[in-house]
Amino acid sequence: MKSSLQNKLLYSFIGVVILVLLCVSVGMSFLIRNYFYTSKQKELIAKGHELARVVNEYNSGNINDNQFTEFINSVDSFLDARVWVLDNSSQLLAVSTPRRGTGVGQRTHQGMGRKMFGARHNVISGFEEVFSGKVMTKTFFHPDYEEKMLTAAVPVISGEGKIGGAVILHAPVSGINDFLQIIYYYIAATGTIAIFLTIVLAMWLSKSIVKPVLSMQKAASAMAGGDYLTRVQVTSNDEIGQLGHSLNELAADLHIFIEKQEVLEKMRRDFVANVSHELRTPLTIIRGYNEALADGTIEAADMKEKYHNLIREEIMRLERLIKDLLDLSKLQSGAGNIQMEEIPLNNIVESIGAKIKQKAESKNINLILELTSVPKIQGSGDRITQLVLILADNAVKYTFNGGTVNLKTYCSDDKVVLEITDSGIGIPQEELPFIWERFYKVDKSHAKTTEGTGLGLAIAKEIIDLHKAEVEVDSKFGVGTTFKVKFAVPEK
Ligand code: ADP
């Protein structure tokens, strides 16, 4: 018994059982004693009345001495009660003899019994009232029989209504006590069995409570130590079992939470690494060109200009990168400072079309605008402009010379759709889920040749989410790509 919970259970169980047994035995003995006393008294009184009638018969000479003696003796043995018959001057007329020895009753006026019952007068003196016609009962220590007796005294009333004497019946209390003794033995035996059963039950119960609690405590400690894979063995359906279930759910939730945290942490680390890398590359190039110019390695004026231009390009690249990073962080830090208004999508697409026209023409790309009349959408004009520019610019960027780029607007399923299609290089199906990630570039080897920062689509996704819009990408590697952004129409 190591666990205190187990001890507590056991002791309280045994305590309750002992208390119940005590109450039951005290209550029962009281009730039984009471019941026996009253029923014995009733019986004695009833027999007393019968005897009184027989005494009357005897007094009127209808039955003889022998028959009378025989009768009181048989009442004695039948009731296990000593019978005294008194005449109207409270003198003993007859006393029964228990049928043990000779089995013969005694007639006192024949000279027998008086010696034996030396103290009888005292005893009889307590029953004076019976001679005034009253039935009496008493329980007392009888000095003649030297034991406790239950006594009933009944007056003998003759036919004319005169008191002709009295009958006193004495039943020894020891009989009842013997019976109570048996009951006490019985209670003691059941009590012992009950205590034994209690110990077994308490041990079984505490085992079924304490064991799972201990295993839950172990699991909780393991969780506190960072082990979220521990599970509690749930064997029951009760409250303990439910607690086990909850603990397991908690462990599972914590596991998911921690995994998410780790993923986020990894993303953060990757982002920092990516930013550092993206910043270092142009800086290294700038430093190299700058050193070449400074130490006089490059002398020719046209070469000098070429290097200056290369340096300017790298600086612009850095500027773009920093602008994109700032944009992204602004978008991620919350929508609170972004002004939402009703904006005409077609106007924005037209202006972006004009903006990329030159670039498309330089690549001999056929830029087609197919705008249908669409309702105004709810959003930030600047951000939607930025979104259309990113998507249209990518379409031109990733399309070969002589290809086509289509900018469309239309309504479908209560949504305003912006659709940008190109006949470009396409994106392999397995890469599609990642294109929205920061710094993700499908073609790593050519990543440097295009002027992209790898942040465009990440910014686009933030803007799409900010406007609660949906996006779909359809792409076939080598054939072309379609981006569809669907905006909800504001309710009027
Ligand atoms: P980048 O600045 O490199 O364009 P983006 O975030 O805009 O970065 O795009 C991520 C990557 O998704 C690009 O590097 C490119 O590989 C791919 N991509 C985006 N748009 C297209 C497109 N229209 N056609 C083919 N590939 C595209």
What is the C-alpha to C-alpha distance for residues 87 and 52, in angstroms, rounded to an integer? 11
441, 474, 484: which to mutate for ligand 1, most atoms within 8 A of CB?
A: 441
Distances (CA, A) of 136 to 84, 143, 176: 14, 19, 20
Q: Give the atom of ligand 1 at the shortest distance from the alpha carbon of 390.
A: 7
Give the pLDDT score at 451. 67
Give the pLDDT score at 475. 95
Q: Is the CB of 398 under 6 A from ligand 1?
A: yes
Q: Is the CB of 377 under 6 A from ligand 1?
A: no
Give the pLDDT score at 444. 64
Q: Give the atom of ligand 1 at the shortest distance from the alpha carbon of 422.
A: 23
Q: What is the mean pLDDT of each run of 10 residues along the chain (492 residues)?
A: 70 86 85 88 93 90 89 90 88 80 43 43 73 90 87 90 90 82 85 86 81 88 89 85 91 92 92 90 92 88 92 92 91 75 95 95 96 95 95 95 96 95 94 91 62 88 94 94 94 74
Distances (CA, A) of 32 to 26, 85, 179, 227, 409: 10, 30, 9, 65, 101
| All residues at 6 or more sequence positions from 470 whose CB lies less than 8 Å from its CB, including other chains | 415, 464, 485, 486
What is the C-alpha to C-alpha distance for residues 353 and 348, in angstroms, rounded to an integer? 9
Residue nearest to atom 11 of ligand 1 (CA): 441
Give 180-229 as a DSSP string: HHHHHHHHHHHHHHHHHHHHHHHHHHHHHHHHHHHHHHHHHHHHHTT---
Give the pLDDT score at 82. 92
Give the pLDDT score at 2. 54
What is the C-alpha to C-alpha distance for residues 223 and 37, in angstroms, rounded to an integer? 70
CA 258-261-267 angle, 5° bins: 145
Give the pLDDT score at 446. 53
Q: Is the CB of 422 under 6 A from ligand 1?
A: yes
Which of 390, 403, 376, 370 shows the shortest CA–CA distance to 480?
403
Residue type at position 89: S
Give the pLDDT score at 123. 61
Q: Which residues share a beta bridge with 172?
A: 149
